[in-house]
């Protein structure tokens, strides 16, 4: 159980870093681009740009959208894995004190 939690935390953390770097490289994310930019084309949104909505290829848009969704799933799982690791650590500390 401990090893699985460690892997989940690691994968979630690495994926979050990859999301941040990928969003910086492609210039925004598709989730906000979908809701805040004009419809009909593939836009990414970055509020730090002079023109926050910019058009990208369909492949870049799909990559950004899929990576955003995967991050929405993996980051909470990583947080839950961290909580589990903390509880396992506390449990082993208590059992060592009792011995």
């805040």: which residue's tokens? Answer: 36
pTM, to two decimals: 0.78
- Strands 43-45 and 53-55 come out as antiparallel
* Average pLDDT of the residues in 11-18: 95
pLDDT of residue 91: 78
pLDDT of residue 40: 82
pLDDT of residue 99: 61
pLDDT of residue 65: 93
Query: In the chain, how many domains are there?
Result: 1
């593939």: which residue's tokens? Answer: 42
Q: What is the domain extent for residue 16?
A: 2-98
Please, what is the average pLDDT of the chain? 88
Do residues 29 and 44 make contact, with C-beta atoms less than 8 angstroms apart?
Answer: yes
pLDDT of residue 89: 86
């Amino acid at each position: 159980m401990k090893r699985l939690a460690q892997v989940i935390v690691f994968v979630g953390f690495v994926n979050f870093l990859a999301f941040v770097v990928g969003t910086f490289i492609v210039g925004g994310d598709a989730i906000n681009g979908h809701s805040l930019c004009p419809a009909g084309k593939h836009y990414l949104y970055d509020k730090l740009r002079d023109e926050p909505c910019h058009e990208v290829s369909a492949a870049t848009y799909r990559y950004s959208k899929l990576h955003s969704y995967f991050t929405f799933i993996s980051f909470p799982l990583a947080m839950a894995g961290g909580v589990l690791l903390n509880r396992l650590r506390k449990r082993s500390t208590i059992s060592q004190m009792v011995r």
